Amino acid sequence: MAFLPGGRDALVTERKGRLLLWHEGKPAQTVAGTPVVAYQGQGGLGDVQIAPDFARTGTVYLTWAESGRGDTRGAALGRARLVQGPSPRLEDRTVIWRQVPKVTGAGHYSHRIAFSPDGQFLFLSSGERQKFTPAQDLGTNLGKVLRLTPNGTAAPGNPFAARGGISAQIWSYGHRNLLGLKFDADGRLWDLEHGPRGGDELNLVEPGRNYGWPLVSDGDNYDGSRIPRNATRPDLAAPAISWNPVIGPGDFIFYRGTLFRFWRGHALIAGLVSQGLVDVAVEGKTAREVARHDFGRRLREIVEHEDGTVWILEDGPAARLLKLSPR
């Protein structure tokens, strides 16, 4: 979900491929011109963000899962111009980035978008597609955080630019399934990612660092086989905080408003498995959980409105859009 300037309208993606233009107090409209998505498993229509220059250009960015040859799929990033009115639509939609290579399976696309505070760069999370080893391979963009220009090319000055090709896109590597990607008030980039059976992580993302997957984790494989813990490899970037049992994160924000002063500067995580809001205080390069607020439902998305209210999208066929404001 992404609010448009003014805050009375927002774009909302649904996994089956529908893009909605939501209006406060009015029925939502279906936006035409969306891509054909590979709706299977965790795949479908993914993130939506407005461009930093949206007020001038109307440009929006979308991610989705697309089919390839044979039984393969991969994430794609595209941009288009949003035309509002009685029949909203996307025009001039163009694919500007793809996961390489496309692989079998239908999980761990990640494909979350975050623009740098100055609006000059587009950061993108790219999951390892449940294939483990690509996360350590600098010749693919799976299991990585990528730093791109707004037109989808590798940004200049990236850590592995000298290697050329796909490697030039990479900002950090050794990631699993990153469903949150956000900048804090100090301009630092953080990711929120799913561990296996245990080991969900909040990470401070720094250029060129290796975040360890699948070499280390604070969880174990689903078949019960043990994975060495993060503490055994001090040469690899350790999470700021990890969870075992998992919280199953959907997305997160760094709260910047003043309506909820006790949340200011905190990471607020929408929890799927935890079925609630997880409040995390960041202290330098580490973090600690402060509280959990039980909703009794799987929470998929969380967005802060410009007025400081917090909006949450539930997960599932009967999902609701919730607005949190002080009593």
What is the chain's pLDDT, residue by residue, as a tens digit (327 residues)?
999 999 999 999 999 999 999 999 999 999 999 999 999 999 999 999 999 999 999 999 999 999 999 999 999 999 999 999 999 999 999 999 999 999 999 999 999 999 999 999 999 999 999 999 999 999 999 999 999 999 999 999 999 999 999 999 999 999 999 999 999 999 999 999 999 999 999 999 999 999 999 999 999 999 999 999 999 999 999 999 999 999 999 999 999 999 999 999 999 999 999 999 999 999 999 999 999 999 999 999 999 999 999 999 999 989 999 999 998
Q: Domain ranges for the chain, please list them.
A: 2-246, 247-327
pLDDT tens-place string over residues 33-56: 999 999 999 999 999 999 999 999
Phi, psi of 161 (to 5 degrees): -60, -35
Predicted pLDDT of residue 308 = 97
Share the mean pLDDT of the chain.
97
Pairing of strands 59-67, 45-50: antiparallel
Residue 322: both structure tokens together: 């919730």
Q: What is the pTM of this model?
A: 0.97
Active site residues per annotation:
108
Amino acid at 126: S
pLDDT tens-place string over residues 157-187: 999 999 999 999 999 999 999 999 999 999 9
pLDDT tens-place string over residues 291-318: 999 999 999 999 999 999 999 999 998 9
Kindly state the DSSP code that residue 54 receives in the 8-state scheme.
Answer: H
Residue 74: both structure tokens together: 């991969």
Q: Is the dihedral of CA 246, 304, 301, 118 positive or negative?
A: negative
- The burial of 91, by beta-carbon neighbours within 10 Å (0-12 exposed, 13-18 middle, 19 or more buried), is given as exposed
- CATH fold of 2-246 reads Neuraminidase (2.120.10)
141's torsion region: left (phi>0), alpha (psi -120 to 50) or beta?
Answer: alpha
